Amino acid sequence: MADLNLCECFARDGLQHEPDFIATPRKVDLIDQFARAGFARVEATSYSNPAVVPQFADASEVLKALPRLPGVYYKATCANVRAVERALADLDAGIGANEISLLVSASEAHSQRNLKQSRSAQWERVESMAQAAGGRFRLIGTISVAFGCPFEGAVDMQSVLRDLERFVRLGVKYVTLGDTIGAATQAATHALFKSMLREFPEVHAIAHFHDTRGTGIVNYLAALEAGVSHFDVAFGGVGGHPAKVKYGGGVTGNVCTEDFVNVLETMGVNTGIDLEQMMAASKACEAALGRELSSRVARTGLNPLLNMKASHACM
């Protein structure tokens, strides 16, 4: 069994703001590659309004065509009760996701800007979504800008912990803390996750950081040291916040799958990822988008000492 649980976010967070529509069969093939490479969680699609996010107009078609591997959680992002109802309809049809998300912002200004409503109104929406889900999905709570807001600055750790408590009261046992603008430091990352795991030991902490300032992996290692075992990654570092919001200078991508897995494996951490299949999936992601992505490992290859370690293990 792997020491960590990695969620591959390319197919949802990575594609949501891509201007060109990725064909449904290609999405299905990529998601299946991710699962077969060993990712225990895969963001498969989003029940977004097609008029707002046309990339996921084929959400149900993707899920219908998608092969399912035992033990893998396929996540569908839901923005409101209507989205949950769509997820339930697909579940009733036998093609549904087995995991959905519930999102809040840690700051009032970010909630107003990103979710178009107040924090209190968003919490009411989240409560309605959790109720509508009826215990039929694994719920993933997400707290955006948990480490810093582009409009309000520092975010109080106690406020984040109170949001965590609200998720717990809704029966949510998996909660993601998002470093939406890449402002987290190693010390802040370690401190917040340590407090989270101490105060809510029944909750699985998930780290979802952006590599805006090149600190994503070092902060992930700080989270790992604090006891976090669930991490979100994306091939080539794609995704992040929409560029139109203008913070992060447009460099808002997620932590690169290839680079983080390479670091973990050189540390002796069992990721559960098949490295050969991971590198093949990395090339497939670049081919799907038609451009070179941000992974350094995609350019240089995995640490050569990993191959030496594998060969010694076989002797």
CA distance 120 to 111: 10
Residue 309 has a pLDDT of: 56
Residue 138 has a pLDDT of: 98
CA distance 145 to 177: 8
pLDDT band at 272 (very low <50, low <70, confident <90, very high): very high
Contact 66, 28 (CB under 8 A): yes
The pLDDT of 188-209, averaged and rounded, is: 98
Contact 244, 269 (CB under 8 A): no
Range of the domain at 117: 5-314
Q: What SS3 string covers 209-272?
A: EECCCCCHHHHHHHHHHHCCCEEEEEHHHCCCCCHHHCHHHHCCCECEHHHHHHHHHHCCCCCC
Domain tally, the chain: 1
Counting beta carbons within 10 angstroms of the beta carbon of residue 112, is it exposed (0 to 12), middle (13 to 18) or buried (19 or more)? middle
Q: Could you tell me the CATH number of the domain that includes residue 186?
A: 3.20.20.70
Contact 257, 8 (CB under 8 A): yes
pLDDT digits (tens, 9 = 90+) for 76-110: 999 999 999 999 999 999 999 999 999 999 999 99
pLDDT band at 247 (very low <50, low <70, confident <90, very high): low
Residue 315 has a pLDDT of: 44
pLDDT band at 312 (very low <50, low <70, confident <90, very high): very low
